[in-house]
Chains A and B, each alone.
Chain A
């Protein structure tokens, strides 16, 4: 049964996607929180340089040497970028944009000069070939396991172990690096450890999803989770769940439409993000619009009770405390006036009596509080 599982091509492709998504989302949560998202962009581009250099030196396209060697380039990118920033000659954004294109361009040139006959070609480096992961297998306990699955499993375990072991330190360093440094938790070391693991994950995943789509797996699910919750552990769990869901849905759609599998998986993370952006319960655009509308209505209702309170018991009351006065004197459009009356009525601030709008005790108290805030409760 297990053998059948490892021989099933769709299962292997999905498993590769799941492993990539989970490994990336675990680390990505912290990268997004720390504002290092674009370093991922830089790392995932410049490992191309590392991959080709390690290949030229060792003729190995996978395996631990390749993994670590290429990951060093990712780290080199970060170190170079931060050195540039520290020199204060260029700012962070420009520094990122200077280092990785140079390394990437060098990598692309090296590939086109030296590696024309091997299976590293520029387009697959960029886009990945998750559909072909099952071609490259290694024998493990009698089963032909795809190399990518094996590598990514190791990487996932490493990432998980790192995050669980340093959970407290990562949390502190993400939210308050100053305090973390003061307490002696070495946020700088943690920062480099996190980015090293990101580089390793990027190298392990580049075969499957390519350099650029990897960014989607690192940044988008955690950013989506960030819109949905304010708890760190829930954010990490949600990010992983969203990544897995994106892989599943993306695979199905890609097979159906006969398009790039990795591309479709990454696009699905984008779809989740768009949905969260609009419909997130607390901070989504829909919730924001609803809240703004409620605030506007409440404000109108307050204006209404203030207006009624001003004229209550005066000779003008018969004229002022009506819907017509709101439209005529306050210059409110009629729908707005009606909505305000309805709102105030719903909140038991006013009632209609003999064709007039009359304050109820709660409304009178609110109006009094508006005019004399200090005497109110």
Chain B
């Protein structure tokens, strides 16, 4: 317990935790739009494309100056987005090929620049490799203000352009037909994703940043059907993953923050995919089971009513074997039990036979007639 309190009162842990939570919230908020627009992997490409920018920023500034490094990363990220657009619009190549090309070539150039910087030596260049996976402990108080500022800017833009972003995310063709500057809005959204990625470089690095964009949004999508809800839940999941990851990695020796944050976010996605009400896998399985039961019961009722009508006897006692013939297979005992429990059929004896028989009750006849007409009970 005291270890936990030590952890929570340590300045650097507080800083990392706050930074990770902020980053998670920003990435979650912006990632929601990226996921809805099917642009999830653009974030991956932009994140990898930030590497050459990091090195360029370092080369130009001549020192490990965060401002110029982030500016460089933002610049090459934006350049990558432009290249993407150029390739998909002017060639026959598919979007995924364009993404792969931009991602791998920019990253390759980044690797070349990285080795160039490292070959030139200098104590400061050693930390540049940490941008691959992030180095949370390197966060400075000033960085938090920067993140907070950009987060506020992103929030302001999302709130201010809410209607526009909503329409462009769901129906860009309609937005274009309405005369809205769709390309400009899309570009703005891409730029904001690039900003979120740049913020995340220090904390989770270029390789895993994409998960912080996609995972909270994909999880949030399972829980809500409204855009506002999705953006809010996504930001909350992102912040919680960031916070959790920072605390876990601070409490365990040798665990890098970035991968832990990503694993936590992925676990949230897994849980959401399983249990989210209405959409989750378990939920769907349950619903399918219920539907199967309902249809099975309706078929038993219909078969019994058919037999009763054929014999002109509403209280006709149906034997299991007759049901089997009418249904084309033995009725599951669970169906009969369920129908008995609902008071729609009741077991009767049909002397001299000793096998179990059932007859439809009044309610059973009414129910069978209702579902015959196709009206759900």
Contacts and interface: CB of A to CB of B under 8 A. Distances in A.
Interface of A: 32, 35-38, 40-41, 45, 84, 87, 89-91, 93-94, 96-98, 101-102, 104-106, 108-109, 112-113, 116, 122-123, 126-127, 212-213, 215-216, 218-220, 223, 226-227, 254, 257-260, 262-267, 269-270, 273, 277, 283, 285, 288
Contact of A216 (B105, B215, B262): B105
A215 B109 contact: no
A93 B38 contact: yes
A41 B97 contact: no
Given A98-B266, A126-B207, A266-B111, A259 B116 contact: yes
A190 B254 CA distance: 42
Interface string B252-265: 00111011101100
A109 B260 CA distance: 8
What's the dominant secondary structure at chain B's contact region?
A: helix
Interface in B112-135: 112-116, 119, 129, 132-133
A245 to B, nearest CB: 15
Contacts of B90: 277, 285, 288
A285 B89 CA distance: 11
B221 interface: yes
Given A37-B100, A101-B211, 17 more contacts: A84-B273, A89-B273, A91-B38, A96-B40, A97-B40, A97-B44, A97-B211, A108-B258, A109-B255, A109-B260, A213-B104, A215-B100, A219-B101, A223-B93, A259-B115, A260-B111, A263-B114
Nearest to B222: A89
Given A98-B218, A226-B92, A273-B101, A105 B259 contact: yes
B132 A216 contact: no
What's the dominant secondary structure at chain A's contact region?
A: helix
Contacts of B222: 89
Interface in B124-164: 129, 132-133
Interface in B70-121: 86-87, 90-94, 96-97, 99-101, 103-116, 119
B255 A223 contact: no
Nearest to A214: B104
B299 interface: no
Contact of B111 (A89, A213, A288): A213
Interface string B227-256: 000000000000000000000000000111
Contact of B43 (A97, A109, A116, A273): A97
Given A90-B218, A96-B41, A105-B211, A259 B104 contact: no
Given A112-B255, A263-B108, A263-B112, A98 B211 contact: yes
B262 A215 contact: no
B365 interface: no
Given A94-B214, A213-B111, A220-B104, A102 B93 contact: no
B281 interface: yes
